[in-house]
Structure 1
């Protein structure tokens, strides 16, 4: 670069040094998400951006399609819509279980006794075979649904640029669930792109 001796500033016709080989100069129109960091050591991918907000249908499709996938990211809407749907399903299953077990329970004995506080009565009941089967089936379904949400929670942590290992904080007695709830509410962080693999770029 040459300087104008009169003013000590670079002259207009001075040539700029060439950019290093392989380097690209971003244009003013490029946004903050034009280049994603290398996912798990992979090459940089052009066009990556934050995970888009999705509706209930798309959130459920993504959850089921990627139910065993621990890499990549999940937006807040992608997580919370699934969480709401599963909460409603769980509530319906529990109500049905209680109705069926109560309706099919078998009465064993009725009794009336006197104590220092007066008379009291009660009935001993036991679950029928139908009630026991209903309880076991409901328990298994709820357990499976809970396990299938773990990869989704890990991807939500990735979206906040946090390692999936933070999920284990949810196992802390009494406060673990509250900690996980707070983590699931964290906003997205652009640096969370580092958890993407090439197959995660551009997926719905």
Structure 2
């Protein structure tokens, strides 16, 4: 739950990096909250019915409330893999865009600092994974 709250507190943070755990824990909490709100919408009749289907009032309000934090953490997650936030626009390409974004979101962080800032692993008191030493074979 701390990961979820941390993303909400940094709701306008489109700069820097977000590690995999931060992104996926936020996504998991969003999924659980959405399922609960969807059930509440149906249980209490908070639905707007149209010819295309029904829209849950609670789920819609929640979706609007977490839209900006969700975009921000997704952009920071892309930054963690050293990708520009503009890659998020791939979501508009049917099938292929979603697959590309899923791969990017599942990739490991770039070790150490990258052009988007220092590694976020240090923010949570976890040691950086060791980087193998570079062996210079000049004699």
Q: Is the 8 A contact 1:76 1:184 kept in 2?
A: yes
Name the SS of the counterpart of 1:195 in structure 2.
Answer: coil
Q: Is the 8 A contact 2:79 2:116 kept in 1?
A: yes
Structure 2: gaps (5+ residues): 49-54, 125-139
Name the SS of the counterpart of 2:114 in structure 1.
Answer: helix
Distance 2:68 2:98 in 1: 14
Structure 1: gaps (5+ residues): 1-55, 102-129
The two structures have a TM-score, normalised by structure 1, of 0.50
Distance 1:146 1:176, change over 3 A: farther
| Matched residue, 2:4 | 60
Quote how far apart the aligned CAs of 1:77 are.
0.6
Equivalent position to 1:177, from 98, 103, 106: 98
CA RMSD of aligned residues (A): 2.5
- Who wins on radius of gyration, i.e. which is larger? 1
Q: What are the within-5 Å matches in structure 2 for residues 60-79 of structure 1? A: 60-79=4-23
Distance 1:70 1:140 in 2: 22
Quote how far apart the aligned CAs of 1:178 are.
3.2
| Matched residue, 1:162 | 83
| Matched residue, 1:4 | none
Q: Deviations over 1:104-153 (max 9, x none)?
A: xxxxxxxxxxxxxxxxxxxxxxxxxx644x93343122233233211101
Which structure features the higher share of helix residues? 2
Distance 1:168 1:74 in 2: 18
Q: Given the alignment of the two structures, is residue 188 of structure 1 paired with residue 106 of structure 2, yes or no?
A: no
Q: Given the alignment of the two structures, is residue 83 of structure 1 paired with residue 4 of structure 2, yes or no?
A: no
The two structures have a TM-score, normalised by structure 2, of 0.71
Name the SS of the counterpart of 1:158 in structure 2.
Answer: helix
